[in-house]
């Protein structure tokens, strides 16, 4: 029995660390100051040629700097601790504000709890499915922007105060997307009846730049790790 008790802390630590091996869960805590930038791959997988209407502001091919319209997909974030220790390179994140540009050099960001809960339910249910497919990743990004920017109370990426107004399918970054497929996937992700799992998310807020969103360990896992530490101390 003593031997079994001694193994418990080790098993708890292995369970905790195995989450990070998956690649989507990062060792960041709420309130922590980190540094972020958009990585060298920028947005991948992605769909380009997207025109948006964001609360009365048009972002399309005529907008300076948007010759290929808006790119939607996985924003590849490089993340460091405040002291410069690398946490992640090319982390498949999503943008939390369609009106802001990402930082291209390391910029301080504060980790805060993601809100509303719909963001966590969508991530927990669909993240693994969308990050390897350009059309699904773009639709997921559109769905996140819908949650952040929509003011009508109804989620639909083809109407309201935030919506996709056009898709130029001749874009070199189209990657097989159609207007209808992006709307269909995005609105499916936004349908709460399809949500089955909830993730624990933090938004990395930085003044003047688009925030990234990341997944962290669930509170229960952290509690189990703390329990393992108590058992180790008791043993010694």
Q: What is the pLDDT of residues 127-144, one digit of tens each?
A: 999 999 999 999 999 999
The pTM score is 0.86
Band (pLDDT 50/70/90 cuts) for residue 219 is: confident
- Domains of the chain: which residue ranges? 1-25+217-236, 26-216
Band (pLDDT 50/70/90 cuts) for residue 21 is: very low
The sign of the dihedral angle between the CA atoms of 168, 173, 176, 181 is negative
**Distance between terminal CA atoms of the chain?**
17
Which range is least confidently modeled, 15-19, 31-35, 38-42, 76-80?
15-19
Q: Is the per-residue pLDDT at 169 higher than 90?
A: yes
Question: Which of helix, strand or coil describes residue 168?
Answer: coil
Strands (E), the chain: 33-54, 57-59, 70-81, 86-93, 107-113, 162-167, 200-206, 209-216
DSSP count for the chain of H helices, then E strands = 5, 8
**Residue range 166-175: average pLDDT?**
98
The mean predicted confidence, pLDDT, of the chain is: 89
CB 212 within 8 A of CB 95: yes
Distance CA(228)–CA(150), nearest Å, equals 44
């Amino acid at each position: 029995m003593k031997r079994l008790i001694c193994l418990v802390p080790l098993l708890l630590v292995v369970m905790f660390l195995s989450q990070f091996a998956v690649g989507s869960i990062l060792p960041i805590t709420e309130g922590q100051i980190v540094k972020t930038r958009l990585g060298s791959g920028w947005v991948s997988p992605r769909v380009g040629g997207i025109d948006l209407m964001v609360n009365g502001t048009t972002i399309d091919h005529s907008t300076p700097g948007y010759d290929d319209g808006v790119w939607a997909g996985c924003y590849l974030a490089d993340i460091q601790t405040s002291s410069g220790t690398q946490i992640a390179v090319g982390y498949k994140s999503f943008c939390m504000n369609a009106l802001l540009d990402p930082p291209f050099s390391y910029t301080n960001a504060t980790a805060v709890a993601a809100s509303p809960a719909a963001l966590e339910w969508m991530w927990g249910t669909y993240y693994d499915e969308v990050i390897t497919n350009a059309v699904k990743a773009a639709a997921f990004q559109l769905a996140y922007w819908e949650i952040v920017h929509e003011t009508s109370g109804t989620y639909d990426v083809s109407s309201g105060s935030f919506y996709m107004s056009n898709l130029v399918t001749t874009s070199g970054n189209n990657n097989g997307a159609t207007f209808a497929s992006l709307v269909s996937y995005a609105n499916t992700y936004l349908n709460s009846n399809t949500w089955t799992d909830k993730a624990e998310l933090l938004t990395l807020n930085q003044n003047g730049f688009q925030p990234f969103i990341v997944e962290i360990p669930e509170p229960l896992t952290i509690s189990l790790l703390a329990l393992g530490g108590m058992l180790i101390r008791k043993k010694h």
